[in-house]
Structure 1
Amino acid sequence: MRAEKISTNITVDDIESARGFYQDFLGLRIEEFNLGWVARFTDPDSGAHVQLVTGDHTAPVDSAMSVHADDVDAAYAQAQSLGYEIVYPLTTEAWGVRRFFVRAPDGTVLNIVQHRGP
């Protein structure tokens, strides 16, 4: 698997309440998306970004980070062949991503995701 980008997922009680700190103080002024339960805020110059999550919409647990994979299907097969615990199976979500959750040996849950084109 090749990671194209990694996004830190920060659990918050309310995205709107947290917005000011991340946009105003940290300068992550661009809201790339906001689904109500997850939003990504990005610095327009550096590309630094975080995702704020109130609770995953479909998966049974929240993930600590999202790893944007070049080929999520191959990554899923590789994770299975290596015996890693799949926390949430490979799924094409209604909002246009294909993803699965895997637990790293240290216990960290990762969202392995690939955005699909239109």
Structure 2
Amino acid sequence: MRRTPLDRGSPHTELVRVIRIIPDLEVEDIAAADDFYGGYLGLQKQDLGLDWVTRYLAPAGADVQLVTTDATASTTPVLSVAVDDVDAAHAEAVRRGYEIVHPLTTESWGVRRFLVRTPDGHVVNILRHRE
């Protein structure tokens, strides 16, 4: 796995390679939001097979996820970040002293993830899809 040094003066500090970033918008009712995102904006709905989250895709490649609640975590994230190595990302977040809001978990819907609180208080979902 190839990584990029964060600080060239500190060889043990490395960045996690981000694969994709998707904003998570908390909504009351995904079906009710469909007219706006699918109808009005014309975004393509991607069925994730889950009743609490869905994704809309723009032709340019931008995505947005609508989330009613997180299925296993007590907090709904504002952002989902897919990374190349979620275990390394978790270890680095712990090393840096960031608050882990939801533990590193392999979820039943096919991702390994954890939720971390940013220094400014936002909750971010760090994940890796199973191979």
Return the TM-score normalized by structure 1. 0.94
Q: Alignment identity in percent?
A: 53
Q: Which has the larger radius of gyration?
A: 2
Number of residues of Structure 1 aligned to a counterpart in Structure 2:
116
Say which SS state the counterpart of residue 94 (structure 2) adopts: helix
91, 101, 104: which one pairs with 2:105?
91
C-alpha RMSD of matched pairs (Å): 1.0
- 1:27 Cα shift? 2.1
Are positions 1:3 and 2:18 aligned together? yes
In structure 2, the partner of 1:33 is: 48
Are positions 1:111 and 2:125 aligned together? yes
RCO greater where, 1 or 2, for CA within 8 Å and sep 6 or more?
1
In structure 2, the partner of 1:23 is: 38
Distance 1:76 1:27 in 2: 36
**Structure that is richer in strand per residue:** 1
Say which SS state the counterpart of residue 17 (structure 1) adopts: helix
- 1:34 Cα shift? 4.1
Uncovered stretches (5+) of structure 2, i.e. residues with no partner = 1-15
Uncovered stretches (5+) of structure 1, i.e. residues with no partner = none
Distance 2:20 2:95 in 1: 23
Say which SS state the counterpart of residue 48 (structure 2) adopts: strand
